[in-house]
Structure 1
């Protein structure tokens, strides 16, 4: 039976040119597709010298016509007692996927390097004309993927999804996936060598097989027209097969919308539909509509909210009305497992804390977070800032570094462009001004606007002081003239001065744009109490919040804030014993879920800020 199955697949694949690179385009809306989870227990091998990838001449095994049996991706087993095979996945230790290796295995806490993962599975495919894709939500940082000993491809970037078509390689029994995951920091990487968060390694998000028909809906984008909120605009893209001109029906049953489209030869169709019955998405009313796309072979549904987000002078307008963004920044750490967050339960916990503090907005720092939190923000009515991991000092003149940054930006936009909650694409955080950096970020902004013209563009910039009067603060950055929303980080009272310094600060912002203070804050060890002028105490953090919030209210253009940060998070830059212990302590909540005094200061502010 197995040989018949593979033979039929091979004949069909050759006749349809099945495995063109085009079919590896990122599949979106995987939450609503037919999937088989591969999460769970995976065997792993730690390989700091990468002996399973390179021979002793440092030549990659997977670039050889006949790879050595000691190439780990071949999963070779000895056939006789004399065979020399120096690894065995099936006898190796296991860890959970999704999950980081740092917090699952104590000896891997600081590990940076290569770990190989292996999962065995059966896949009784019932429809030989369907395609199968291997989808990975994220793996940090560079991933080499193999199925049944054949290389699928490489993905670079630790926070965005990727997929490979595997139809031609699947068997009914005894399949094995092997991933080589390498989290080493590199100077040409995005982010680069130096960050202020933990470099978690591993397969950190869901892994699944996705089944589609021969010609399938790869992508769709549905949104309101930013100039007329009675018009729903959209497009749908098909992939696979030689003839991509197909009929597609778009339906929104609750709005009594049903429209038939015909895709062009590239598989693309666009549409505009007018409706005066649309109930608009907002934090107060996070309305989502069931939207479906149907072809002769497939029906794909999504849950989509309709809203507009624009600016007018110094206001951010949601559905045409000014809104204040009452928010907080967040790293992707689990309040439950204390490692990399990867579940809906993780997302529910942190977003519920934001709701409790009176917030309506979250800045997902400093990279794309998992899809669970973005979809849940859609359901709960929490506005979202998403950020590309262009952080601090990148190799601005390196074309490969730019290509990497652009690819991660596009993968982030591709995955989340249908989420009403997402209102801002951020290009970078605290990057030093230079001509090369300005060119780099400007190109990213142009790419983002071309790909998705429906959202606002920002970047977390830095403030500077007037050379003649250090109490006067400016935003002297050419990017301030390019972004839609002027956002900047400031730490007066922590990295310079004391909380009382906030009283003398004067903000002279010349740009006629809405302002978001993307970061401010102070470190405090939960449970450590003392005088309000004693660093690391809850009282110091509380005092700084009181003084900072009073200062920021003097900024006329202030439209939002996202203080640093909701929960204490791991960082190897923070080694102070008995205080930090590898944690950045600027959270308003400890890693154990205990609220600090400043949490209640911010809540009181949000309850009264209008």
Structure 2
């Protein structure tokens, strides 16, 4: 009885919040969405590779308003929106379209804990699509463009001792702009989906000292038994000492320090454990900033010893390698869409689920298709042992597409602003994911979608990150640059081009469709490359394609991507339904044949 009484105040405070929020619309939802707690939305630490102990989550119910673009901040807000779900999503509680003629405003209050006194306070946004302006207590603290990467403002000078007011304005033109947008369009149909506007990843506060570690890049070198760590600070000072310590559990296995900046090259044990899909071993990291014997800042993270490369085998075929061993990389096209949250998984458990099922199905790789995920998604891949091919989200207009021969037409000519923005956002994505062990391949372009200056972009990407492979254009237009020639063919596998100088891969195939009643985005309209009406027939088709692929591995394929992990909106090509409630193919048979393919080069 005493316990029940202690709950009453908390319930009384929570009830008004629930009264102001309910999922919008009548579309299908995942099981996780059915248990959303508006007081505890995505509560997990959002940046696992660079962790500090103190932080404050700002997810939850905010005030919102939609106004004509270019007008002043609204005096009155329309209602509540659940952050961090996009305004178009069901879980936002709003379910409204924005469009290029409107702007979306957010507002909420927050307090700074007294324990943060005399510290600087950083305001972090996981991702906001697309152009963002931010005010704290009426003072503009910064702006950002880009829909897929985190950004941060130091808001210390704008803070009050008591209540603080945070205001955010977002403009997102979707397909009426040149910016990267992936598969978002204003008129969804077929393979094109609902727009995603505004905040769609966690918003959070973090206290830091006046001088602090602002970022890092980690590159393992298994051949030289080294771990190279580049550490950035918000401001440099003579005498700064960066210390890097590497742990296996509670045992320190390596350490190194550098004075006055520069790279820290940490000697690793000659028998260091290597990361792979079969054994995804991670080392813990501690990075400390000291000056004159005083600890200024410290972060915790993790890393792995692994190497991505290519090599010509005994038959002259260029193979992908992991840790100097041939590996056939095989996995699904993963688009990362949710019927209730659109770009945003309803919970961290949901975010993990798709990756875990990919492992359960027997795959060793995921192609993250024209989308970038929250940092925790990549950490889940690091921990579970999944190699990731990371696409650049497509944008702008598409030139002529030639998929079955090398391209001989005119490439897309972007405006100066479009090209500059592409380069900015692509570099931000590389910087964001540079240290994640799971990232094995960068994919700057997909199927000529916004493709331009392919050779130049490919060479820049390879130079900026020589530790990964670069797949210049998945599915074309094809140029003789980068590490990979990537073919697309539906529905079954086919090798209609071959490159003796690079790895030849099947970047998309499959698309076996199957309608599952009561688990459809639109009950009377759906689409697939080929369609079956039962699991047995769909599974047989999958195995037939897998047997064809197995023969093509001997002829020269070095990786393959099956379309796709889940249904998405009116697409019914998934291994699972859009709501993740039904696995459509026979999982045991799927795992058996997938394991055979993944082990084909052993």
TM-score (norm 1): 0.76
1:385·1:423 contact (CA, 8 Å) conserved in 2? yes
Q: Which residue of 1 aligns with 2:426?
A: 409
Q: Distance in 2 between matches of 1:492 and 1:534?
A: 7
Residue 585 (structure 1) aligned to one of 572, 579, 587: 572
Q: Which residue of 1 aligns with 2:85?
A: 99
Matches within 5 A, 1:356-435: 356-391=360-395, 393=397, 396-431=413-448
Q: Which residue of 1 aligns with 2:36?
A: none
The answer on 1:603 being equivalent to 2:594 is no
Cα deviation code 1:206-227 (max 9, x no counterpart): 101122111111122222226x
Q: Which residue of 1 aligns with 2:566?
A: 567
Matches within 5 A, 1:29-428: 29-32=49-52, 34-47=54-67, 49-50=68-69, 53-54=70-71, 71-72=72-73, 87-89=75-77, 92-102=78-88, 103-104=90-91, 108-112=95-99, 113-126=102-115, 128-185=117-174, 186-191=176-181, 196-225=192-221, 228-240=223-235, 243=237, 245-254=239-248, 255-264=252-261, 268-295=262-289, 296-313=295-312, 314-334=318-338, 340-341=344-345, 343-391=347-395, 393=397, 396-428=413-445
Q: Distance in 1 between matches of 2:465 and 2:297?
A: 26
Q: Distance in 2 between matches of 1:105 and 1:363?
A: 28
- Which of 347-356 and 397-406 deviates more? 397-406
Cα deviation code 1:511-534 (max 9, x no counterpart): 332233221233524337xxx998
Q: Which residue of 1 aligns with 2:523?
A: none
Distance 1:412 1:223, change over 3 A: same
Q: Which residue of 2 aligns with 1:551?
A: 548
Q: Which has the higher contact order (CA 8 A, sep 6+)?
A: 2
Q: CA deviation at 1:143?
A: 1.4
Distance 1:246 1:334, change over 3 A: same
2:394·2:446 contact (CA, 8 Å) conserved in 1? yes
2:469·2:483 contact (CA, 8 Å) conserved in 1? yes
Q: Distance in 1 between matches of 2:125 and 2:465?
A: 23
2:487·2:495 contact (CA, 8 Å) conserved in 1? no
Q: Which residue of 2 aligns with 1:59?
A: none
2:277·2:387 contact (CA, 8 Å) conserved in 1? yes
Q: Distance in 2 between matches of 1:585 and 1:270?
A: 49
Q: Distance in 2 between matches of 1:557 and 1:449?
A: 23
- Which of 388-397 and 400-409 deviates more? 388-397
Cα deviation code 1:531-557 (max 9, x no counterpart): x99846357754653443343334322
Q: CA deviation at 1:341?
A: 2.0
1:29·1:415 contact (CA, 8 Å) conserved in 2? no
Question: Which structure 1 residue ranges, 5 or more long, are not aligned?
Answer: 1-26, 55-70, 73-85, 464-475, 494-501, 571-582
TM-score (norm 2): 0.76
Pairwise CA RMSD = 3.0
1:222·1:232 contact (CA, 8 Å) conserved in 2? yes
